[in-house]
Amino acid sequence: MAKSPELEHPNKAFGWAARDTSGLLSPFNFSRRATGEKDVTFKVLFCGICHSDLHMVKNEWGSSIYPLIPGHEIVGVVTEVGSKVQNFKVGDKVGVGCMVGACHSCDNCDNHLENYCPKMILTYGAKYYDGTITYGGYSDTMVSDEHFVVRIPDNLPLDAGAPLLCAGITVYSPLRFYGLDKPGMHVGVVGLGGLGHVAVKFAKAMGVKVTVISTSPNKKKEALEHLGADSFLVSKDQDQVQAAQGTMDGIIDTVSAQHPLLPLIGLLKTQGKLVMVGAPEKPLELPVFPLLMGRKLVGGSGIGGMKETQEMIDFAAKHNITADIEVIPIDYVNTAMERLLKTDVRYRFVIDIGNTLKSSN
């Protein structure tokens, strides 16, 4: 008979979990495995709320296993390391993102692309090597194989740095892979939320000219003055879209709602690239003529491998890039989820786990 979450593993743990598709989170006692020889155990200080967490607590993708503790933008301080751990020691500031396991023997793993490994294990809601279900960062401690832990440089604030572990790598990886990182290029960013605002910051740090493309005119001031975008385009304004035809080398599209691709393809120069990092549930319509007539492409990208995640964190530290966040106590989390659904946040909620997640035990 399967053990209860509290008894599964030797070390007590406490977090907040969703129990059903209402998605409402509440206190949850569970347990973490003992620190294995390659594991790093850390006290969680902050955890970002990613829109994926909202999809998962409500089982919108059909893959959720309850009880579900979300959270894959996790930062904290190391409390214990296994005997074979080489890269971390007690007291180090570390983070864990979307993955905690992979096969380590396929081509993708060999090429530092663990995110594309067919046996990749997600940080929460997935089956670990020992058969138990993984629990995420809305909890007091985290245990991870050191391969999936990144070091957080001293000058990067832990709270505002946490969202980089998913949002950051999700936009950094395609900027590099699709070559949209060359100084002087012009890149559009569609959608100004958790992913979009970080994309603007990374692209600017790479020397790229950035245009934010959004349906909301009221985001313009912030995009230009606060985030440093070079220009702002209201996507429903035909005149603005027409005037910007054929001006962009690439576009990073972070929008997960259904939306038309035709206007975006028109904004691209010849040989331009539209990169999808948002995940609309239903297929979108791809107009083929304009793709052909300009030798353009539509590509996708999903997070990034561990080597690149560390590279991204170091790049962010070097350029002082962090997310714009609203820090919340754990008991605000359900309200935060409701607000996130209405995109009422600038631009990521981060849970102050260290100070507000207290077990009643």
Closest C-alpha to 90, from 157, 137, 42: 42
Closest approach, Cβ 257 to another protein, in A, equals 11
Say whether residue 284 binds another protein (CB under 8 A).
yes
In angstroms, what CA-CA distances link 250 with 45, 107, 214, 296, 297? 36, 28, 16, 10, 10
Say whether residue 287 binds another protein (CB under 8 A).
yes
Range 95-124, binding another protein (CB under 8 A): 108, 113, 116
Residue 50 or residue 160: which is nearer to another protein going by CB? Answer: 50
- Rule CB under 8 A: choose which of 1, 289, 342, 360 binds another protein: 289
Say whether residue 2 binds another protein (CB under 8 A).
no
Residues 118 and 106: their CA atoms lie apart, in Å, by: 9
Closest approach, Cβ 97 to another protein, in A, equals 16
Say whether residue 272 binds another protein (CB under 8 A).
no
Residues 234 and 247: their CA atoms lie apart, in Å, by: 15
Helix (H) or strand (E) holding 210: strand 209-214
Residue 207: count of CB within 10 angstroms of its CB: 11
Q: Are 81 and 35 in contact (CB under 8 A)?
A: yes
Say whether residue 283 binds another protein (CB under 8 A).
yes
Stretch that binds another protein, among 10-18, 33-41, 299-307, 335-343 (CB under 8 A): 299-307
Give how many residues touch another protein by CB under 8 A: 35
Q: Are 4 and 55 in contact (CB under 8 A)?
A: no
Encoded tokens for 125: 């809601």
CA angle 178, 161, 73 (to 5 degrees): 80
Query: Which of helix, strand or coil describes residue 266?
Result: helix
Residue 2: count of CB within 10 angstroms of its CB: 9
Stretch that binds another protein, among 77-85, 130-138, 274-282, 313-321 (CB under 8 A): 274-282
Say whether residue 285 binds another protein (CB under 8 A).
yes
Report CA torsion sign: 189, 195, 199, 201: positive
Stretch that binds another protein, among 207-215, 230-238, 287-295, 323-331 (CB under 8 A): 287-295
Closest approach, Cβ 347 to another protein, in A, equals 20
Say whether residue 54 binds another protein (CB under 8 A).
no
Closest approach, Cβ 265 to another protein, in A, equals 9
Say whether residue 126 binds another protein (CB under 8 A).
no
Sites of contact with another protein (CB under 8 A):
108, 113, 116, 177, 261-262, 270-271, 273, 276-280, 282-302
